[in-house]
A and B are shown apart, each in its own frame.
Chain A
Amino acid sequence: MKKRIILALIILVLGSGVALFDYKSEPKLNKNFATANSFFKNHPFRLGLDLSGGSHLIYKADVSAVPSSEVSSSMDALRDVIERRINLFGVSEPVVQVENGGLISGGGGEQLIVDLPGITDIKKAVEMIGQTPVLEFKTEAPKGTPQKLVVDKTGTATLDINSQYVSTELTGRYLQKATLQFDPNTREPSVSLQFNDTGTKLFDEITKANIGKTVAIFLDGAPVSTPVVREEIPNGQAVISGNFTPTEAKLLVGRLNSGALPVPITLLSTQTIGATLGESAVNAGVKAAIIGFLLVALFLILWYRLPGLIAVIALFFYTAILLAIFKLLPVTLTAAGIGGFIISLGMAVDANVLIFERMKEEIKNGHNIADGMHAGFKRAWTSVRDSNTSSIITSIILFWLGTSLIKGFALTFGLGVLVSMFSAITVSRIFLFALGIEKSNSVTRFLFGSGFSSAKTMIKESIK
């Protein structure tokens, strides 16, 4: 008996600890969140785009030119490049996923899914992903090439710079690395380029052939600098010193280093959700969850009395544990995910209801309360096991096949079923037996009765 009470106390302390963690790690609840331990700070809920606001983009990757054995590796490379580009813009926790086509998705081809929390300007988002910096080195056009004259609005005529230069083979493709550097005297930022072997050879040839002439460095089709070549440069190093601001130069370095896309992509679908819409959805979800919890608790206590109260405690544990799992894994919560969680609140007491009904039946069939409790737990187990197994199978299939929305639901639902098997069986069993009710008297009979009848009338019925 003592052992049971100690076990119950340990569980109670552990459960409260989990609940405290949930509370402490939530910025909206914990007033001292700013000064909280970094462990708490690192584990707020991760909200999906529909709740936090942001953009969701789906790209189709054209892999027709890639041999089928290399599709998955080039998709991974694509994901890495896009991830690097997004990171440059300081988006917090972007998610870039490759979703491959094939049999299950109906031959939709290779897709790239990009989630950008907090970015509601799709135009900007699309730009930051799609931009490939095109770096070109051009040499002076030979004399006699027809020149184009451009007259601007004010009437000034200038020579079109594009016609003054001709392309060379040297492009950003042969770039090994770009670094940001500052001129020691003027503090002006410039971008230093290091070519790879082929690039070094090409650059050597270009500089050798153009001593005394200018070489233009074009970025995205516009000349950024046109230095005069003084001598042959054999080591493959070049410097672009346009009139950059430090931020521009830094961005350019990042973009050059992130490289070109391995496969071309086209935008298939976009979704943006404003931050206010997301916030009101979160508040509504929380409100619905609290009211739902209270209604279930009220029902359990009114119908199942003392065991019902234990079930409510188990449900509280369930909520605390599941929320902690959401934070620690972490699970990205969406509106559908919250829906899954709320439904699981109702489902989590299923095992309790099964056990309590069985207990009641066993007591009715002549067992005393303690034996009835044991038999109830034992006999309800096969139902609990099989029904929950089928729920888990369903959630695994949904997680495997589903789109991101269905995946979120399947994950919260499946985790909920697993946790509920612990809370509704183990936790409520420990507490119920720790109460140490052995004797049957009018009080315990009432406490273990249910619905409109008490255990007393049930026993009477069974004697009849």
Chain B
Amino acid sequence: MFIIKYKKIFLSLSIILVIVSLVFIFTFGLKPGIDFKGGALLEVDYSAGRPEISLLQTNIKTLNINQALIEPTGDNGYLIKTRDLSESEHETLSQSLSIGGKYPVVEKSFTSVGPSVGSELAHKAILSIIFVIIAIILFITYAFRKVSRPVASWKYGVITVITLLHDIIIPTGIFALLAHYNGAEVDTLFVLALLTILGLSVHDKIVVFDRIRENLNTGDKKNFAEIIGRSTSQTIVRSINITLTIIFVLVPLYLFGPETTKNFALILTIGLFFGIYSSLFFASPLLVSVEEWQTKNKSKKS
């Protein structure tokens, strides 16, 4: 199996991708959205043409709301971001947007999140990711308990988690790069996309590991690398096909779906691609490397 044969190349490629992604994340940074840091977001639509941004800015400046970030959306709308607003502040803001009635305006949506709610959400999001990862290690350790030789079942769990980190760091890095140019923010849906990637990616790894388990139980246990290679090649078509079917539903979700889930679909597609890559080209080589390292250590000791 070529994947095992050239495992050093594939492992290095993955490590390079992760490092590049980490560089993106730390240089560009991730901007938290209003659901995490608090703030207000107002989406308005001007049916009879929208006023200039500068005109709105000068109007908003008089309102004691400090800073407002205004972005055009659609043909006739604006997204206005400010600090979190009380209901009366919201009202004065929406009244001022019509600029004395010259520009009739419809408010499509308004969100205001207090800073404490935001930090709580962020806390919950991080906790969910940690809990999901812990549960996955435990489950894999349990499900593969019968295959403790030559590699202990908990190591399958740990390898899965290492590949999962790979699978979420790379899309996050790409997101950081994209966000640097289009100003996308990290919101609950972004976290949800990462969690879904975790779920799908584990799903995938289990299928490959299951085949390894089957081949280990029936076949020759001595040549571990060969069994891994054979198992990977036996599951490769399935892995690619299932990723394809999910991408077939994600692409329409991105192209035609609701505005709110567009970024979500994009991150998921990227994550899915790297998830499948890691199942085939990262997890399996890593498993072989762990086994080789084990035997080397053992022979040194004896």
Contact = CB atoms under 8 A, between A and B. Distances in A.
A joins B in a complex: yes
Contact of B112 (A270, A274, A336, A391): A270
Contacts of B111: 269-272
* Chain B: number of interface residues, binned into ranges: 35 or more
A126 interface: yes
A106 interface: yes
B120 interface: yes
Interface in A320-350: 335-336, 338-339, 342-343, 345-347, 349-350
Contact of B207 (A274, A282, A354, A397): A354
Contact of A268 (B116, B211, B214, B237): B116
Contacts of B117: 58, 108, 268-269
A292 interface: yes
Given A271-B110, A303-B241, A386 B87 contact: no
B189 interface: yes
A400 B123 CA distance: 14
Contacts of A402: 124, 128
| Interface hub of B123, B189, B253, B265 (most chain A Cβ within 10 A) | B253
B114 A269 contact: yes
A163 interface: no
A361 interface: yes
Interface stretch (A192-200, A235-243, A403-411): A403-411
Interface of A is mostly: helix
Contacts of B258: 280-282, 284-285, 288, 335, 338
Interface in B252-297: 252-253, 255-261, 264-265, 268
B198 interface: yes
Contacts of A120: 107
A410 to B, nearest CB: 9
A105 B120 CA distance: 6
A123 interface: yes
Interface stretch (B10-18, B19-27, B132-140, B171-179): B132-140
Nearest to B240: A353
A453 to B, nearest CB: 11
22 contacts: A105-B120, A106-B124, A106-B127, A108-B117, A269-B38, A270-B90, A270-B110, A272-B107, A274-B106, A288-B249, A292-B252, A335-B260, A336-B260, A336-B261, A346-B249, A347-B246, A349-B242, A393-B136, A394-B195, A395-B199, A402-B128, A406-B195
Contacts of B90: 122, 270
A387 B261 contact: no
B139 A272 contact: no
Contacts of B253: 288, 292, 339, 342-343
A398 interface: yes
A69 to B, nearest CB: 24
A389 B114 CA distance: 37
Given A274-B108, A349-B242, A401 B87 contact: no
Contacts of B167: none
Nearest to B191: A406
Contact of A406 (B188, B246, B249): B188
Given A346-B249, A353-B242, A277 B43 contact: yes
B245 A353 contact: yes
Given A269-B112, A288-B257, A383-B207, A394 B192 contact: no
A273 interface: yes
Given A120-B107, A295-B248, 11 more contacts: A269-B84, A269-B111, A273-B108, A274-B106, A281-B260, A284-B257, A291-B252, A295-B249, A350-B203, A354-B238, A386-B206
B123 A105 contact: yes
Given A345-B249, A398-B195, A299 B204 contact: no
Interface string A269-308: 1111110110011101101110111011001100100000
A115 interface: no
A403 B124 contact: yes
Interface string A445-464: 00000010000000000000
Contacts of B249: 288-289, 292-293, 295-296, 342-343, 345-346
A406 B188 CA distance: 8
A34 interface: no
Interface of B is mostly: helix
Contact of A357 (B121, B203, B237, B244): B237
Nearest to B237: A357
A390 interface: yes
B192 A123 contact: no
Given A281-B260, A342-B249, A357-B237, A387 B206 contact: yes
Interface in A48-81: 50, 58, 60
B108 to A, nearest CB: 4
Contact of B109 (A271, A339, A383): A271
Given A269-B113, A292-B252, A346-B250, A401 B257 contact: no
B181 interface: no
A29 interface: no
A382 interface: yes
Interface string B31-63: 000000010000100000000000000000000
A126 B86 CA distance: 11
Contacts of B191: 406
A346 B204 CA distance: 13
A398 B110 contact: no
Contacts of B140: 390
B119 interface: yes
A49 to B, nearest CB: 10
B241 A353 contact: yes
B2 interface: no
B91 interface: yes
